[in-house]
Each structure stands twice: as structure tokens, then as C-alpha cells.
Amino acid sequence: MKINLTKLILLLGLTVTMSCSKTAKKEVEPVNYVKENYTKKEVKITMRDGVKLHATIYAPKDTTKTYPILLQRTPYSCRPYGEDQMRPKIGPNEILMKEGNIIVYEDVRGRWMSEGVYDNMRAYIPNKTEKQSDETTDTYDTIDWLVKNVPHNNGKVGTWGISYPGHYATVSTIDAHPALKAASPQACIGDFFFDDFHHNGAFLLSYFRAISLFGTYKDQPTDSAWYSFPKMNTQDQYQFFLDKGPLKNLNEYFQYDKPDSKNVASKSDIDDFFWKEIVEHPNYDSVWQSKGIIQHLDKVPSTVATMIVGGWFDAEDLYGPLETYKGIEKNQPNNYNTVVFGPWDHGGWSRSKVKNAVGNYYFGDSISLNFQKNIETKFFNHFLKGSGSKESGLPEAYVYDTGKKEWKSYDVWPPKNARKQSLFLTEDQNLSNTKTNTSKISFVSDIKRPVPYSEDIKTVFTPRKYMTDDQRFAARRPDVLVFETEIMEEDMTLAGDILAKLNVATTGTAADWIVKVIDVHPSDLKNDNEDMQSHMKLSNYHMMVRSEVLRGRFRNSFANPEPFTPNKKTKVDIKLQDVFHTIKKGHKLQIQVQSTWFPLIDLNPQIYVDNIYKADEKDFKTQTHSVFTDSSIEFTVLK
């Protein structure tokens, strides 16, 4: 099945700079600004091992001055192909496009028009021989060729990208070429066991349709799609996955050679190399460990300035940008390294829409446009056209308080005046500053009626809006435990990571644990978002601020899973990613605890098996889970 690439890109939100509002289109005069002001050239750049990569170079027609090079390396195509075919927009944003820069896109190894065989999250090779290559050398060789062969460049290069291209921007900083002066990894993947397809060992079942995009084999350059997406033939993904049962029943969607369905053995065959990798490596073993890039951030030279960008409500890549910023800070504290986090979903900062909302929740106008003009453009211009000194005029941390709906600047993240503060669960399901009597609260986790992650009936390519969704639908289920404070008498600003310190038990030998942090709004609020779903009201809105899952088998080690002992009280710590959110006076802070989150994550059998991807239907059992009231939630609170 051939696919429409433009629709795919918009679905994934990976090259969101290509989308623009009607207002933005009117501002671009003439209609195709790129065609009128840029020339386009397509080249093949030879890597040190002889493999040729395809690159597209957009150069300003005004050749009276020199320009920096802005490079994006991508697995999502340099389209449109053909030197007479132009993108409608190029570069990180419209301002940098209009100011004049040499903009380069490159298909990474094994993708689209580039030679070689693709390796998903290709591992970094330390101590390489002269002819060995990885993505760091491919980037180095590309930059080296560009600065030596592209006319009118000023010898300075910047890299940027969102999501997977953001990962390649991170890669560019490691063992970097001397010409690389600025890099902006945005929504960047950091480690595939914690980003995108996995969360703390749980499989993101909602990403099922994206598997073939990365795992369909190709060994020849092509300008058209060589993969197809599974046909679900339904608009109800909850029921679809519930009916499918164990993960092994999804193998048929990744059998591209159409094996004989009458042959029982053939039903376990897998042609998709990414799905096979996931199935055969259920634990954080050497395969996944080698693919992580954040482990190598000690190799970012001080000559490269970095600006990490992310969205507080990015359902796809939240772990990556936070850990990338923190990793550079830890390993290279003297580097110029900044972080920007705003009220965005995946790639929202690069869109040209005036209105900024995530799902039903509205944050304000022109937030993304102001970022592009006053932060992103300023960053690249300072390091690629200006002095390049550490005095850029930008804050170390430029972060948006999603509760107060305002920006703040800090000289470090989390802020220096942030302190740890714990709230304890109580028997009457409140949150208390002090530990009370220890008792247990139990619920039945029915594998035939898992807790949905959204009340919407939908089938989506990748999840997004649930990150700010109203959680009242979940709070009203008997298999979701709810704990909350009294109405706040003063503001409480959460500014940093969150650690759920649970003490739990289960009648089975396996369980998942999901913790959600929720801002319960006052009942007298009026709707402020005309695009809010018609059934939804801001009155008493239970806004999810942060959420995370831990597959219980990994409570002590992601590499060495272990079962629970039935009915034994067991410690389970769940780290939730950073937030910057004020629970305002008049609101309440709520915690929800549950053990299913479907079909965002796959179902846990609730009895221990060595590999959940190979579990049988008989392995899935309903169990009773318990949470003890000496459990606590440790927040990072701004004092």
C-alpha cells in the first residue's frame, strides 16, 4: 500500500515546520517564497566507508554575502525530490528562512534516496577504526563536505530537528565537526527503552501502527514509500486491541512475505526487523543500551552551543529532551547549554498557529510564534552570524508554568530554590503532609475491562491529546484509586521531577503501576476554549499534569526483571518526568493510581512470564492489587 507522505509527516508531527496557517500563508509573498529566493541542488555525499547519502541544498539567490549552513538529517525524507521541486517552507522557522541561510536536508543512511541499510537508533561506536561509521561519523563527513563544497558559506554550521531528526541533532554534537557551532535537538529521542515505543519497560501499544515505518527492510535508494501501515478497519482502537488479545497475535501485521496462514508455525514469523527487535528483546539488554545516545553526552565539545527544546505535554518524546539537557549539564557543565520547555505537544513550538492549546486545554495566543522569533532565531543568529560568545542574551532555562500560564527564566533547571516535599496517601484517600496509620486499599484489576487512557472513541496513529485530558472518567472507576488534597489555600508550584514511592501488593506475580498527577480545577470556571470537545466543561476539570507507568517486573532493574511474591508488601518507585505547573489557590492536587492504561500500553498478564510479547491467552489473569498508605509522592516544589 502506497501512503501519502505529507499526511504521514503531519500525523507524526515530525516535520511540523511544513505546516502553516492561512494567516501565515498570506504573509509569505510571493506564494512560493522558497522558489523565488532560493536555488535548490541535490547531491550525493560519500561517507568514509563509501556509502553515498542524498542531500538537498537550498541556497539563497543573493550571492553577495556568505551564510551559515543549517542542517537537518532525517529518516522522514528530503522530499520533494527533483531540483525543480521546492518545499513551501524550509529551515527551523519562517524568520530564519526569510533572513537567508543555507538550508540542507539529508536522508540518513538506509532511508529514502540514501544508500546503505537503515538501523533504527543506530548505536554509537566508541574507539572506531578509520573506516568504521556510525551516525556521528556520517554527520561529521556530511558537514565536512558541505563547508568545503557549498559556495558562499561562512564556515559555521547549525543543526536542528524535531523528534527523530531531533535525535540526529543530538548525535551531531558528539565528537562534533569543528564547524558545528550550534545545535538544537528538539523533542529528541534519548533512549528507545524510555522514549516513544517503551515507557519504563511497558510497550506503547498505541504506537502499533508506526512500527512498519521503521522496521520494513530496504536496501536500495527510493523516492517513494516502501512500507505500508496495518489496516485496523475500525475507529475503536480500545476494542480492536482487546479483541486481538496477546501481543503475539499482532505478528501477522508484520509478515510482509504473506506466509501460508494454514501453517501454524508461520504465524509466529516476523519480517519487520523493528518489531522483531522489540519482541526478542523485552528487557533493557545490550541491544537497547547500545542504542541510547544520552550515555555519550560527555563527548559534546565546548565549541558547540546547545539549545534543547521540548513540550511539557509531549506524549512521544518527553524523556529525551529532559535527559539530554541534564546529561550535558552533568558531563559538560562549562558548555553553553540551554533548555526551553513550553505548553506544547509534540513539535507544537514550530507551528505557525496563533492559538496554542493541547487537546481541550487552552494556554494562550502566539506562544509558539514568540518562541520562534525571540528564542530560536536569536539562538542560531548569535552562534552562526554573531559573536558566538556565551553572552547570548538568552536564559539558561526558559520554561512555561502550565498552571499560571506564564513564562519564567532561571539560570539552572530545576531552579535552585526548588525543594523536595512529600505528600502521603491516607486511608480515607486524602493526601497528607504527614504519614498516618498504615493500611491497605485494594482494587480488582480485570484484564477484560482495563482502564482506558482516554474516554474518546478513536484510532490514532500516535497519541497526543491525552496528556492534558480531563481525568474524571478514570476517577469514577473502582479500579482507579484517587487521593487528593483539600482546596489549596495558597499556590503550590511543582518545578522538577516527581517520584512516586509506592508500597504495593498483588495476588498475582506481575503488575503494572500507573501514577497520574492531576490539577482539579474549581467548579465555577467557564470554558475559555471554543474548540473544546462539546461534551467537555472546564468546571471541575481534572487536568492531567503528569503521568507515568512502571512495569512492575522492572522495579529493581530494567535489565533483570523479577516476579512479585503474591500478597507480599513490595516497594515500587516510579519516576515521573519533570513538570513546571502551579496548583493554584482554589484548586486541588489529586493523585490517581491504577494498573491498566489501555491501549496506551499493552496489557500485563498479571502473572509472571519471561517474555510478555510471547505470552498466551491462558497467561492473562484478573488479580487484586493493593496500595499501602505509607506510600508517598515526592514532589520538587518551588519555595
Could you give the CA distance from residue 300 to residue 298 in angstroms, rounded to a whole number?
6
On the question of pLDDT at 215 being above 70, the answer is yes
Question: Could you tell me if 514 and 547 are in contact, meaning their C-beta atoms sit under 8 angstroms apart?
Answer: yes
Closest C-alpha among 209, 196, 171 to residue 73: 171
Q: Where are the beta strands (DSSP E) in 343-475?
A: 355-358, 361-365, 397-401, 406-410, 418-425, 431-432, 440-445
Question: Could you tell me if 209 and 230 are in contact, meaning their C-beta atoms sit under 8 angstroms apart?
Answer: yes
Helix pair angle (164-173, 135-149), 10° resolution: 80
DSSP state for residue 299 in the 8-state scheme: G
On the question of pLDDT at 14 being above 70, the answer is no
User: What is the pLDDT, as a whole number, of residue 9?
Assistant: 43
Could you give the CA distance from residue 201 to residue 214 in angstroms, rounded to a whole number?
19
Cell matching residue 66: 556568505
CA distances to 6, 90, 98 from 80, in Å: 10, 12, 20
User: What is the pLDDT, as a whole number, of residue 239?
Assistant: 97
Mean pLDDT within 458-466: 91
Question: Could you tell me if 597 and 512 are in contact, meaning their C-beta atoms sit under 8 angstroms apart?
Answer: yes
Mean pLDDT within 390-413: 97
pLDDT tens per residue across span 605-626: 999 999 999 999 999 999 999 9
Mean pLDDT within 268-297: 95
User: What is the pLDDT, as a whole number, of residue 267?
Assistant: 66
Could you give the CA distance from residue 520 to residue 513 in angstroms, rounded to a whole number?
22
CA distances to 103, 210, 237 from 253, in Å: 38, 12, 15
User: What is the pLDDT, as a whole number, of residue 268?
Assistant: 76
User: What is the pLDDT, as a whole number, of residue 257?
Assistant: 75
419 pLDDT band, cuts 50/70/90, is very high
Sign of CA dihedral 193, 194, 198, 201: positive
Helix pair angle (319-331, 164-173), 10° resolution: 10
Residue 337 sits at φ, ψ, to 5 deg, of: -145, 115
How many of the other CB atoms lie within 10 Å of CB of 478? Answer: 8
DSSP state for residue 311 in the 8-state scheme: E
User: What is the pLDDT, as a whole number, of residue 22?
Assistant: 36
Write the DSSP assignment of 449-465 as a string of letters: SPPBS-SS----SS--G
Mean pLDDT within 108-130: 95
Percent of the chain predicted with pLDDT > 70: 94
Paired sense of beta strands 337-342 and 588-594, if any: unpaired
Question: Average pLDDT over the chain, rounded to whole?
Answer: 93
Question: Could you tell me if 45 and 133 are in contact, meaning their C-beta atoms sit under 8 angstroms apart?
Answer: no
Sign of CA dihedral 420, 298, 168, 219: negative
Could you give the CA distance from residue 322 to residue 337 in angstroms, rounded to a whole number?
12
User: What is the pLDDT, as a whole number, of residue 258?
Assistant: 64
Could you give the CA distance from residue 578 to residue 431 in angstroms, rounded to a whole number?
20
pLDDT tens per residue across span 295-313: 999 999 999 999 999 999 9
User: What is the pLDDT, as a whole number, of residue 505?
Assistant: 98
User: What is the pLDDT, as a whole number, of residue 175?
Assistant: 97
Question: How many residues are recorded in the chain?
Answer: 639
Residue 265 sits at φ, ψ, to 5 deg, of: -60, -35
Paired sense of beta strands 67-74 and 153-162, if any: parallel
Long-range contact list for 386-393, CB < 8 A, 24+ apart?
A: 388/156, 388/181, 388/305, 390/336, 392/305, 392/336, 392/338
Residues whose CB falls within 8 Å of the CB of residue 233, separated by 6 or more in sequence, listed in order: none
User: What is the pLDDT, as a whole number, of residue 16?
Assistant: 37
- 3-state percent helix, strand, coil for the chain, nearest multiple of 5: 25, 30, 50
263 pLDDT band, cuts 50/70/90, is low
pTM confidence score: 0.93
260 pLDDT band, cuts 50/70/90, is low
Percent of the chain predicted with pLDDT > 90: 91
The separation between CA 315 and the C-alpha centre of its own chain, rounded to angstroms, equals 6
On the question of pLDDT at 30 being above 60, the answer is no
Residues whose CB falls within 8 Å of the CB of residue 41, separated by 6 or more in sequence, listed in order: 56, 57, 59, 83
The separation between CA 229 and the C-alpha centre of its own chain, rounded to angstroms, equals 21
88 pLDDT band, cuts 50/70/90, is very high
Cell matching residue 116: 546503505
On the question of pLDDT at 8 being above 70, the answer is no
User: What is the pLDDT, as a whole number, of residue 462?
Assistant: 87
